[in-house]
């Protein structure tokens, strides 16, 4: 594990043509029960999960650990039954009426000083973490370094594409789990696992394939980010 930040794993399901949602950015519910169980297993293995405001707005909720075996394992390891759920958003423009704020979980907000203002004095978030760069963006590396001091050593990133792309650019991702689902969504504007400006081929992050599993019509791909030895 990289000591200055949590071990970070991206977990996403995508269509066969590499889309994580349709062109209307509807909630992606095309994964099977096996994919949902896989996602729950990855969440249960984490100390916290991180996702962007766009992902939260699309679903209005987050996936919690419910399988008895996973709950028992977390209890035996001395952990709370649910990992911390962290929303990362620059503006923090979120609807307090969505079901997410009624779920029995610890909710943290990672935002800027401006984003934190609208939630001060509110009870929706147990913690509001403010880490800001000089240009007013979220300082994600500093925030992840702080998470280690809060005993968060394993972090699952659940989307969306803008967040994943920014973390890849900052070299903050260690592993990826990608579920390839048997459908084609198409659409030039349909989101992909990594958005942003993209990478030139000679500068693109390189992956090492660790594992391939097929369950019925879905394929589960497990990658590790390759890094040059220092």
Report residue 211 CA to chain centroid gap. Answer: 20
Residue 131, pLDDT score: 97
Query: Taking residues 196-224, what's their average pLDDT?
Result: 95
- CA separation for the pair 154, 7 (Å, rounded): 5
pLDDT digits (tens, 9 = 90+) for 24-42: 988 888 999 999 999 999 9
- Under the banding of pLDDT at 50, 70 and 90, the label for residue 229 is low
Mean pLDDT, rounded, of the chain: 95
Q: Inter-axis angle of helices 68-76 and 33-44, to 10 degrees?
A: 10
Is the Cβ–Cβ distance between 187 and 34 less than 8 Å?
Answer: no
- Name the residue ranges covered by the structural domains of the chain: 7-225
Residue 26, pLDDT score: 87
Task: Specify the CATH number for 7-225; select among 3.40.430.10, 3.40.50.10680, 3.30.1490.20, 2.60.40.10.
Answer: 3.40.430.10
pLDDT digits (tens, 9 = 90+) for 144-181: 999 999 999 999 999 999 999 999 999 999 999 999 99
Percent of the chain with pLDDT over 90: 92
pLDDT digits (tens, 9 = 90+) for 98-153: 999 999 999 999 999 999 999 999 999 999 999 999 999 999 999 999 999 999 99
- CA separation for the pair 47, 39 (Å, rounded): 14
Residue 2, pLDDT score: 47
Q: Does residue 217 register a pLDDT over 60?
A: yes
């Amino acid at each position: 594990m990289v000591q200055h930040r949590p071990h970070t794993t991206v977990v996403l399901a995508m269509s066969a043509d590499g889309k994580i949602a349709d062109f209307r950015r509807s909630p992606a519910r095309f994964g099977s029960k096996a994919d949902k169980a896989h996602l729950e297993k990855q969440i249960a293995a984490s100390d916290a999960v991180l996702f962007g405001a766009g992902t939260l707005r699309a679903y209005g909720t987050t996936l919690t650990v419910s399988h008895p075996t996973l709950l028992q394992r977390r209890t035996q390891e001395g952990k709370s039954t649910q990992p911390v759920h962290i929303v990362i958003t620059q503006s923090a423009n979120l609807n307090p009426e969505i079901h997410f704020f009624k779920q029995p979980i610890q909710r943290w907000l990672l935002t800027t000083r401006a984003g934190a203002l609208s939630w001060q004095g509110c009870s929706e978030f147990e913690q509001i973490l403010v880490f800001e760069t000089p240009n007013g963006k979220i300082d994600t590396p500093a925030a992840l370094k702080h998470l280690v001091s809060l005993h968060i050593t394993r972090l699952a990133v659940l989307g969306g594409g803008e967040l994943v792309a920014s973390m890849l650019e900052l070299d903050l991702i260690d592993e990826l789990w990608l579920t390839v689902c048997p459908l084609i969504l198409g659409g030039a504007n349909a989101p992909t696992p990594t958005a942003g400006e993209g990478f030139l081929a000679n500068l693109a992050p390189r992956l090492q394939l660790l594992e391939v599993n097929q369950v019925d019509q879905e394929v589960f791909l497990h990658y590790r980010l390759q890094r040059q030895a220092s």
